[in-house]
Amino acid sequence: MNTPRSNTPDRSEELFARATDLIPGGVNSPVRAFKSVGGAPRFIASARGATMTDVDGRTYIDYVGSWGPMILGHADPEVIEALRMALERGTSYGAPTELEIEMAEEIIDAVPSIEMVRMVNSGTEATMSAIRLARGVTGRNKIIKFEGCYHGHGDSMLVKAGSGVATLGLPDSPGVPAALARDTMTLAFNDAAALEQTFAEHSDIATVIIEPVVGNMGCVPPREGYLQQVRSITEKHNALLIFDEVMTGFRLARGGAQQLYGVSPDITTLGKIIGGGLPVGAYGGSREIMEHIAPAGPVYQAGTLSGNPLAMTAGLVTLKRLRDSSVYERLERAGAHLCQGMTEAACAAGVKTVTNRVGSMWTTFFTDEPVTDWDSSSKSRREMYGRFFHAMLEQGIYLAPSQFEAGFIGLAHTDELLDQTIAAAHKAFHVVMNHQQQAAVQM
């Protein structure tokens, strides 16, 4: 799958050097910089199906999938054709379209807790708006989030966040006002007792925001009954519960994690898949809550490109394909096959790993302890992951360039591609083990 190197200079390295003079860190989103795994990032020229090809002509089996939305695969023919037709009608109007109504109908039909929905342009915008809405509805200011959960780069959310913040070793961000940080309380994921205790100590909590399945400290699922406990505690104290389903929405089930686990939040944030790979976000909830949003109510939020006809077009094609429940059965089988193969490959090489998976989201951690929260996730051997990442990359497998990001499987990942990945993992784990043994001898 990986095209052999030529004798010409590596154009990705040349482009990265050029980019660092023009763009902070050489990238427009931090994790892309390969900072935690080392080396220069691959600059991508094109993608199709389950593969991407870089500017040097190397092709990779892709498990990043633009961080989740490419569930149908890259450049899906139906999506591309629909976009081609939409482009001929214009790219943006700044006025209502029927497509926005169709998207709202599709989301409301799929997600159990949503009766009304507002489109925005990104997951960050969705979570910022959802938190503002929760504060506006309750008249309270404090919010609770969880260590290792990343809800975008809004000021209130950059307190002990996961994902890129953890990758770069930045537990908080300069530029976040101290007053905002004081209104954000951060607790351990999967610890219901800590949540109950915090509510007992504070009476002014507006909302709890949570990734129901965490994707931003690697894939970390909730313990059995945990989400139900979170729901019960928030209801008891009249605080609103926000499920950040930017990653899990339409990914784990058509109705997202809330359908999978049978828990209804007050507000849901969505993104990624609902734009079919184009920039998009959304937040929704009950009619009573959502009618607080302007112009129906006093909580203001607006966006010129919200409901953009291109994003709505690509998203509708994607979501209509996901009406078929067999899609999720296929993804479950593919996820189980890949992760079992990864575990067996690690064992064969003598490398201790734990692979977490929910449906088509997964992460292999370099640890021998269960990974259930940020503390256990952060014990994963990042240097081992970095060696594994590059060993896989050399064999044409593109994984997330961070230990603290989930991987994603799509419908374009055939059994043949999954088997190629497992075969590559056997070799890569041996590379990791050989390095460990050499390091032990030198000590």
Catalytic residue list: 150, 244, 272
Q: Cβ of 298: how many Cβ atoms within 10 Å?
A: 9
**For the chain, what's the residue count?**
443
**Which 8-state DSSP code applies to residue 253?**
B
| Euclidean distance between the first and the last CA atom of the chain, given in angstroms as a whole number | 37
Q: What angle do CA 430, 432, 435 make, to 5 degrees?
A: 105
Q: What angle do CA 175, 158, 270 make, to 5 degrees?
A: 130
Q: Answer yes or no: are the C-beta atoms of 51 and 2 closer than 8 Å.
A: no
> Alpha-carbon distance 239 to 247, whole Å?
23
Name the residue among 266, 318, 254, 264 with its Cα closest to residue 110. 254
With 0-12 CB in 10 A as exposed, 13-18 as middle and 19+ as buried, what is 361?
A: buried
Alpha helices in 185-283 (DSSP H): 192-201, 226-236, 256-261
Give the 3-state DSSP-derived string for 273-314, with helices as H, strands as E and coil as C.
HHHCCCCCEEEEECHHHHCCECCCCCECCCCCCCCCHHHHHH
DSSP for 334-360? HHHHHHHHHHHHHHHHT---EEEEETT
Q: What angle do CA 83, 86, 87 make, to 5 degrees?
A: 85
**Residue 54's beta-bridge partner residues?**
44
Q: Cβ of 331: how many Cβ atoms within 10 Å?
A: 22
Tokens of 71: 């569930």
